[in-house]
Structures are given as structure tokens and as C-alpha cells.
Amino acid sequence: MGGGKGGGSTTTVQKADPWEGQQPYLKDVFEEAKKLYENGGMAPDYYPGQTVADQSQWTQNALQMQADRAQNGSSLIDNASEAMNGITTGQALAGNQGLNALNELSQEDNPYTDELFNRANSQVQASLEGNFNRAGRYGSGAHEAASADAANNLAGDMYSSLWDKRADAAAQAGQLYNTGIGQQVVAAQTGQNLANQAYTDAAALGEAGAALDDYNQQKINADIDRYNYTQNQALQALQNYNNLIQGSYGGTTTSTGQQGSGSTLGNVLGGALTGGGLGYGIASGSALGGPVGAGIGALAGGLLGLF
């Protein structure tokens, strides 16, 4: 019996194409993508208009107000500084005529006081002289003592009262001085607050301008978004369309292969078995009978298996 033939290699190729009903739509996507690329649709233009809003007039005015105030200062601040300087140097109340008059009264004697005393003393002495003259004791020691006592009492009453008034005048001058100083300090502080009001007004105007600037910027941003949407509209539509036609809808798989040959004995046995089956079926209705036909078919099949 001859040896068997050597076995051969097996090669299998599988090819999976998209579903044939899906293929035309995929081709449309690729063709449209190519057109977009050639026409620049995949690289949209930059927004050609203004992208940053101009400052509103309110914002510009507010900035100018702050700059002017910072560079030019304020007359209120200057006046407040001068007032505080006058207080620290003692010149703040130098021109107060009422205060100066009180100061003079507190420091100088009243030129009419002596005249008033002399007149009052003359009246007192005349009364005493009349009394002592009627008593026959005019010029006596008692008369002289009474005259001196009367003059002293009158002087004490008048000059002590005048001293009290001078002291009161000095106290009033001091109070007015302190009051005036306090008022100037308050005025200086008020001047500072009033001067700062310029910054407050500028800040309020700046807030209004900022709100208007933000609104104008929002309008520009809306125009940019609308422009960008239009620029990308065709590409986005193509992407949406491509997403809809994607997916696994089935396909076609083709396999091809080469089967290696077996041994001669195996081929003969396989052919004999196959031939026997065929012979039995063919001869079953003939005069040869089933078994006989099967034998004939096995012989024929074995002979075929040699080739």
C-alpha cells in the first residue's frame, strides 16, 4: 500500500463590508466632507467685527472725574488744612472782635470806675458830715473814722464787683475760644467728607457705566455666537447626519480556504464508505439486491479514492 500524500496549509480570508443599504449614505458623508474641506468649511473664519465693547460715555466721565479730583485736589481740603494750621499756630481766633473785646475788659481797668467811686463817695461823705454836724461832732475822731469806713466799704463793694465782672469776662472769652476751636475742627472734618464726595459720585457713575459696558459686551458676544454658529452649521449638520447612519446594521462575511490532502489509505477507506453507501442505494431496487450493490459501490469508491 502506498504512503499518504503530505498535508497542505490552510488560508482563510474574511471580508466584512457595511450593509449594502447603508453604503450609499456613507459615501454621501465622505463626499460632503471633501467638499467642506476644499471650500474651507472645516476651518471657519474668525469673527470679522469688533469683539470688545467700547467704554460708555458714563464710564469715561467717571474715570475723568476721578483723574481730575486726584490731580487738582479740592478747595475744601485746602480750606480745612488752613483752618487746622491756624488752630495749631494759635492764629485761628486772632480776628474775633468780640473775643478781643472781652479779653481787653478782662485785663484792663474800667476808666469810668474811679469817677463813679468819687461821685458815690462824695455823696456818702456829705451824708456823714451832715449827721456829725447836727450832732456837734463834725471833725471829731469818730467823724473821721466813720468817713474812712464808709469810703472803704464803698470801694470794696464797687471794685470787688468789678473784679468779678472781669473774671466772668475772662471765663466767657475762654469758653468762646474753645467753642470756636471746636467748630473749626468740625468744619475741617466736614470739609474732608465733602471733598471725598467727589470720589463717591465718580464711583457711582462708574458703576452705572460698568453696567452699560457689560450690556454692550453681551450684545457683541451674542453676535459672535450667532456668527460662529453659522460658520459651523454645515459641518455640524454633516456630523449629526454621520452619527445617525453609523452603527452595526449587519454585513457580508466571505471566507475562502484550501484544505490539505490526507493519506492514501484514508482516502481509499473514505471513498469505499462513500461508494458503498451510493451503491446500496442505487442497487436496492434492482436484481442485484442491496448487499450486492453495496459491495460493488464500495469497490468503485475505493478505486476513486486512489486518485
Beta-carbon contacts of residue 137 (< 8 Å; ≥ 6 apart): 143
Q: CA angle, corner 15, sides to 12 and 17, nearest 5?
A: 170
Is residue 189 located within the same domain as residue 295?
no
Determine which helix (DSSP H) or strand (DSSP E) holds 251, and give its type and residue range. Answer: strand 251-256
Is residue 135 located within the same domain as residue 200?
yes
Q: In the 8-state DSSP scheme, what is residue 21?
A: T
Q: Which of 231, 252, 284 is the last residue of a domain?
A: 231
Looking at the domain assignment, is residue 221 inside a domain? Answer: yes
- For the ranges 35-39, 122-126, 185-189, 212-216, the one whose mean pLDDT is highest: 212-216
Residue 159 reports pLDDT greater than 80: no
Any bridge partners for residue 254, and if so which?
Answer: 15
Cell of 165: 465782672
What's the burial of 154, exposed, middle or buried (CB within 10 Å: 0-12/13-18/19+)? middle
Q: Is pLDDT larger for residue 99 or for residue 174?
A: 174
Residue 84 reports pLDDT greater than 60: yes
Looking at the domain assignment, is residue 26 inside a domain? Answer: no
Is residue 208 located within the same domain as residue 71?
yes
Q: In the 8-state DSSP scheme, what is residue 140?
A: S
Domain with 279 in it = 264-307
CA distance 275 to 283: 12
Note the pLDDT of residue 98. Answer: 61
Q: Is pLDDT larger for residue 169 or for residue 210?
A: 210
Integer angstrom CA distances of residue 8 from 11, 261, 264: 10, 7, 15
Q: Is pLDDT larger for residue 250 or for residue 277?
A: 250
Q: Are strands 13-18 and 251-256 parallel, antiparallel or unpaired?
A: antiparallel
Is residue 271 located within the same domain as residue 187?
no
Reported as a single tens digit per residue, the pLDDT across 169-190 is: 777 777 777 787 787 788 778 7
Q: Is pLDDT larger for residue 257 or for residue 69?
A: 69
Beta-carbon contacts of residue 194 (< 8 Å; ≥ 6 apart): 76
Looking at the domain assignment, is residue 42 inside a domain? Answer: no
Note the pLDDT of residue 119. Answer: 65
Q: Is pLDDT larger for residue 212 or for residue 181?
A: 212
Note the pLDDT of residue 108. Answer: 58
pTM above 0.85, yes or no: no
